Structure 1
Amino acid sequence: MIALPPELLGQLGTGLWHVFAVFLRVSAVVTLLPAFGERSIPVRVKLAVAVAFTLIVLPAVPSPQSNPGLLPLARLVGTEVLIGMVLGIGLRLFVLALQTAGSIAAQSTSLSQLLGGAAADPAPALGMFLTLAGLALAVLMGLHIRVAEFLIHSYAMFPMGQTLSAPDLSQWGVRQIAHSFGLAFALATPFVIASLIYNLALGVINRAMPQLMVAFVGAPAITFAGLFLLFAGAPLILSIWADALFSFTLNPLDSGR
């Protein structure tokens, strides 16, 4: 066997420790990452994506203290995984915003039961369509590049091993959830307005002609209106969503204010 010099062994150990420390945060983010972290993606593919992002981010991150003790090691692992999960949840909320917008739109336009069981989780067809289209658009617009920049900038905002403040984290989480629901309702606003006009018109017609079955007459109209709004408004809805997603990757701390 060839004996390696002690200096080379020390450098090799420091390099492996550096890779492991970066992999902790990156793997937690990739687990919740839109498009790359979906439930339909195999675990091996997610692991390969995490390794690829680790190799990209590694040169831009300073090396941590080598060979720490047991308690510092446990603290580093816990803080890095927590930071990665927090950042990943912030990105995942944008996918949930699209799903919520699709659910609101489907309930408003009586399309909630069309192909409702086609996904792993029961979801309206509008929600599935918007989610898949949004993820495809994000990937085409360079989501992987934005995520790599996002991960590198995260070490400037949250240095390696820094413990997150519980009050600040809770306020940030509440703000992000409120922003996610606000974005979902804003994306579904055209469908809500069409539903309001439809129900007001049905009420007026029902008062004028009580014998007429207005529900049977109006159901095809609201279905057609919902499909037309989806056809006409999907490009604008997805562009607004993509801009909000990429704005979050640029500055996750101020997003949602």
Structure 2
Amino acid sequence: MNDQLAQIMAQSQAFVMLGFVVFLRVGAAMALLPAFGETMVPVRVRLFLGFAFTVIVTPAVANTVTPSVEQLGSPIYLMSEPIVGLGFGIILRLAIMTLQIAGSIAAQSTSLAQLMGGNNSDPQPAIGHVLTISGLALAAMLGLHVRIVEGFILSYQVFPVGALPDPLGFSDWGITHVAHSFGFAFALAAPFVIVSLLYNVALGVINRAMPQLMVAFVGAPAITAGGLILLALTTPVLLPIWQRAFEALLLNPFGGW
């Protein structure tokens, strides 16, 4: 009886240590994950979600992590696992920031940045806020939780436990996704930029032809109405484009590594 109890205690201790190692990576990523790591989500809820993801991921990576659990006392775990988790969270967060950047570009181009500024935890123009909330809803509908779990499991194949990531490869991976995020955001906001350019060129021509006309008073309502109409027309097109790109990212989050 005592031998069986000792064996159960040893297995329980090993599982707790294994869960702690996994939580170091999962908990760090939870601070940045889309939908689950939003500032509007209470801290206690995020902590519970971190434990839930840990319980799901731990059995799947037990064979990968178990041989190294005995070295848990090494400080390398306290450095490598949070770094990998933060990197994974940042890559997925960049997909949401793409919508925020696109909304900011669109708002600045159509003079709606100050007129329709959003008063929320992450100050941004209302266009960016609408696109961001819509993107988060689409991501949740795509089974985001399942894809995140798959990403955590895949991360243990790309970044082994107990080893710091290669600095050059890790930085190149991040820079690649940051550059793609900004380029994709500008592509999404391109219709607003083009309309803004045409509007300013037309306004300049009218001002040269009729200097006595106060073109600013005439053009301000026009660009405001045009921006709102363009937003209503392009949002059903832009969001599916972003959705397909986000699905591709979830299927291969370590593509630039």
TM-score range relative to shorter protein = over 0.9
Q: State the distance in 2 between where 1:124 and 1:44 align.
A: 29
TM-score by length of 1: 0.93
Aligned residues: 253
Residue 69 (structure 1) shift: 5.8
Change (3 A) 1:69 1:125: closer
SS in 2 for 1:5: helix
SS in 2 for 1:167: helix
Percent identity reads 52
Q: 1:112 matched to which residue of 2?
A: 113
Q: 1:232 matched to which residue of 2?
A: 233
Shifted more, 233-242 versus 26-35: the winner is 233-242
CA offset digits 1:140-177 (Å, max 9, x no partner): 22111111111111112112223201111122222111
SS in 2 for 1:231: helix
Residue 122 (structure 1) shift: 2.6
- Opposite residue 144 of structure 1, the aligned amino acid is H
SS in 1 for 2:255: coil
CA offset digits 1:108-131 (Å, max 9, x no partner): 001111342511233111111111
SS in 2 for 1:148: helix
Q: State the distance in 1 between where 2:141 and 2:220 align.
A: 37
Cα root mean square deviation, aligned: 1.8
Q: 1:54 matched to which residue of 2?
A: 54
Q: 1:195 matched to which residue of 2?
A: 196
Q: 1:220 matched to which residue of 2?
A: 221
Q: In structure 1, list runs of 5 or more residues that go unmatched.
A: none
Q: State the distance in 2 between where 1:97 and 1:77 align.
A: 31
SS in 2 for 1:211: coil
Q: State the distance in 1 between where 2:93 and 2:136 align.
A: 11
- Opposite residue 69 of structure 2, the aligned amino acid is S
CA offset digits 1:208-241 (Å, max 9, x no partner): 1111111111111111111111111112211222
Q: State the distance in 2 between where 1:47 and 1:33 align.
A: 13
CA offset digits 1:18-44 (Å, max 9, x no partner): 111111111111110011101111110
Q: State the distance in 1 between where 2:219 and 2:69 align.
A: 70
- Opposite residue 191 of structure 2, the aligned amino acid is P
Shifted more, 208-217 versus 103-112: the winner is 208-217
**Contact 2:118–2:129 at 8 Å: present in 1 too?**
no
**Contact 2:102–2:189 at 8 Å: present in 1 too?**
yes
Change (3 A) 1:116 1:69: closer
**Contact 1:93–1:177 at 8 Å: present in 2 too?**
yes
2:75 maps to 1:68: no
Residue 207 (structure 1) shift: 1.1
Shifted more, 124-133 versus 56-65: the winner is 56-65
Shifted more, 229-238 versus 4-13: the winner is 4-13
Q: State the distance in 2 between where 1:114 and 1:143 align.
A: 34
Q: 1:29 matched to which residue of 2?
A: 29
Q: State the distance in 2 between where 1:137 and 1:99 align.
A: 15
Q: State the distance in 2 between where 1:127 and 1:146 align.
A: 25
2:134 maps to 1:160: no
Q: 2:82 matched to which residue of 1?
A: 81
Q: 1:176 matched to which residue of 2?
A: 177
Shifted more, 204-213 versus 4-13: the winner is 4-13
Q: State the distance in 2 between where 1:247 and 1:160 align.
A: 26
Q: State the distance in 2 between where 1:80 and 1:232 align.
A: 44
CA offset digits 1:72-119 (Å, max 9, x no partner): 2x1112111110001101111112111111110000001111342511
Q: In structure 2, list runs of 5 or more residues that go unmatched.
A: none
SS in 2 for 1:89: helix
Shifted more, 118-127 versus 28-37: the winner is 118-127
